[in-house]
Each structure stands twice: as C-alpha cells, then as structure tokens.
C-alpha cells in the first residue's frame, strides 16, 4: 500500500468538506429535528459521495 494515498474515509471527508464546512455540518446535524429537509439533503449528498468514492476506488483496485 502506498503511504501517500489517502484512505477511503479521508477521501469521503474531503469531498463532503468541499461542499459543507465543518461548522455547517455540525449545524445541520444539531438542527436535524428542526430542519429535516436540510438534513435529508445533506444526508443524501453524503451517501452519494460514499457511493461514488467506493466505486472509484473499486475501479482503481483500492476498495
């Protein structure tokens, strides 16, 4: 394993962080019950990111 490669978890976090700051992520999670639509949108985005990263790593033989 190449020590310079980022992990699956790091790659997912980088993509999510590129769209949502850490502060925004915390706010969305904290207000999940008050703003369920906003949380659902964020959650769907996160799940899609995880799927795409997993697929790209499988294609590269890194899954």
**Domains in the chain: how many in total?**
1
Band of residue 19 on the pLDDT scale cut at 50, 70, 90 = very high
Structural domain containing residue 55 = 8-59
Tell me the CA distances in angstroms from 34 to 21, 39, 42, 62, one per residue in order.
Answer: 20, 9, 14, 39
Q: Looking at the predicted structure, is the pLDDT value of residue 47 above 80?
A: yes
Instruction: Answer whether 49's CB lies under 8 Å from 11's CB.
Output: no
Asked if residue 2 is part of any domain, the answer here is no
List the Cα angle 52/56/57 in 5-degree steps.
120
| Predicted pLDDT at 62 | 66
Separation between Cα atoms, residue 56 and residue 31, nearest integer Å: 32
Asked if residue 53 is part of any domain, the answer here is yes
Asked if residue 52 is part of any domain, the answer here is yes
First to last CA, the chain: 12
Look at 1-5, 15-19, 32-36, 39-43 and tell me which has the smallest mean pLDDT: 1-5
pTM for the complete prediction? 0.84
């Amino acid at each position: 394993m190449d020590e310079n490669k980022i992990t699956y978890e790091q790659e997912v976090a980088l993509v999510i962080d590129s769209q949502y700051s850490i502060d925004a992520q915390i706010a969305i999670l904290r207000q999940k019950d008050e703003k369920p639509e906003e949380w659902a949108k964020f959650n769907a985005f996160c799940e899609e990111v995880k799927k795409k990263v997993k697929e790209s790593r499988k294609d590269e033989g890194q899954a």
